[in-house]
Amino acid sequence: MVDFLGQDVLSTKSLSKSEIEKVMTTAEGFLPYANKEKTTEILKGKLMASLFYEPSTRTKLSFESAMQRLGGRVVSVVGIESSSLAKGETLSDTAKVVETYADVIAVRHSQPGAPREMADAVDIPVLNAGDGAGEHPTQALLDLFTIQNERGKIDGLTIALVGDLKYGRTVHSLAYLLAHYDVNLILVSPDQLKMPAEVTNDLAEKGVVFSETEDFEESLKQADVCYMTRIQKERFADPAEYDRFKDVYILTKELVEQSNPEMTIMHPLPRVGEISLNVDELPGAAYFRQMRNGVAVRMALLSLVLGASL
């Protein structure tokens, strides 16, 4: 029996397959609520603290929409400069303060491990909304949910993860999830931006078939799903390094049509040039549907950790 009550969601590495499937089936049930067809108040009286110390549009708004559409309420902090962290308060002290007001914390921070530091200091659940170049578990769960919904299955698929696999946190978390399935992973990146060994070791341990390559066009011919990512400008110490890589892989409509017109195209967004605008016209362009799934998946997680059900 899977029990999320009171649990933190900090990494996807520690999730079991039954926990992953529990989130997916729960999210399915929340779709009509996320899509504004039905309303519910199952989290009435509960308060979520939304702490976003790094820029965000989608993740912040979808967490907050999810909480409010479940009948809960939200208090928020945006940016380090407007919080006591700027005065030198530690993450654990901040977490203890927030715990006195809120029932659950969603936190984004530039430092990998920051959500865990907060979680260790408090008893209420902490949800990692992105920690630097570390992980982004809720995004990866909505990515997996999207693959399932777009393709009707996960097992048997060839999935290309493309771009900045070193600093891109969504692909770290997604790879840990995909390691539970019978998939063929193609990790496409420049050599300097390869998937960290910590992640590839996990894939190898779990017996996942994967390959690492710089050859984007060849990979596209094999892929059922192409998951594009942005080169993570904010993680580069040297701007010249970023400039070297920023346009390394660009998915165009022509490229999709030549290689595999049936391909599902995903991106956690924001895109900054790596998917041409005319790709949006293709039936396989799933990135806006993917974004929409974020609310249902976050509703599922919030309801599970707070012990409420429909």
One residue of 230, 256, 279, 308 binding ligand NCD per CB under 6 A: 230
Count other Cβ atoms within 10 Å, centred on residue 244: 14
In angstroms, the CA 73 to CA 50 distance is: 10
Using CB under 6 A as the binding rule, whether residue 269 contacts ligand NCD is answered as yes
The DSSP letter of residue 45 is: T
Is 60 near ligand NCD (CB under 6 A)? no
Cα-to-chain-centroid distance, residue 34: 17
Report yes or no: 217 and 254 within 8 Å, Cβ to Cβ: no
Dist. CA 195–CA 202, nearest whole Å: 11
- Quick check: 139 binds ligand NCD (CB under 6 A)? yes
Q: Is 214 helix (H, G, I), strand (E, B) or coil?
A: coil
**Per-residue x/- marks for ligand NCD, 169-198, CB under 6 A?**
xx----------------------------
Nearest partner of 144 among 159, 132, 129, judged by Cα: 159
Q: Which is nearer to ligand NCD, 29 or 55 (CB)?
A: 55
Sign of CA dihedral 275, 280, 286, 290: positive
Looking at 69, 136, 180, 298, which residue binds ligand NCD (CB under 6 A)? Answer: 136
Assigned token pair, 297: 């998946």
Handedness of CA 304, 306, 307, 310 (dihedral sign): negative
Smaller CB separation from ligand NCD, 170 or 189: 170
Judged by CB, which is closer to ligand NCD: 58, or 96? Answer: 58
Task: State the CB neighbour count (10 A cutoff) for residue 225.
Answer: 23
Strand partners, 105: 49, 126
Q: What six digits make up the tokens of 67? A: 């909480």
**166 in contact with ligand NCD (CB under 6 A):** no
Q: Which is nearer to ligand NCD, 128 or 259 (CB)?
A: 128
Nearer to ligand NCD, 22 or 169 (CB): 169
For the CB of residue 165, give the shortest distance to ligand NCD in the complex, in Å: 12
The answer to whether 303 contacts ligand NCD (rule: CB under 6 A) is: no
Q: Assess 130 for contact with ligand NCD (CB under 6 A).
A: yes
Looking at the Cβ atoms of 136 and 298, the one nearer to ligand NCD is 136
- Is position 268 an interface residue for ligand NCD (rule: CB under 6 A)? yes
Q: Which is nearer to ligand NCD, 269 or 300 (CB)?
A: 269
The rounded distance, in Å, linking the Cα atoms of 98 and 51 is 9
50 lies in the binding site for ligand NCD (CB under 6 A): no
* Gyration radius from the chain CA atoms: 19
Using the rule CB under 6 A, is 59 a contact of ligand NCD? yes
State the minimum distance, in angstroms, from the CB of residue 107 to ligand NCD: 13
Q: Which residues bind ligand NCD (CB under 6 A)?
A: 58-59, 130, 136, 139, 169-170, 230, 268-269
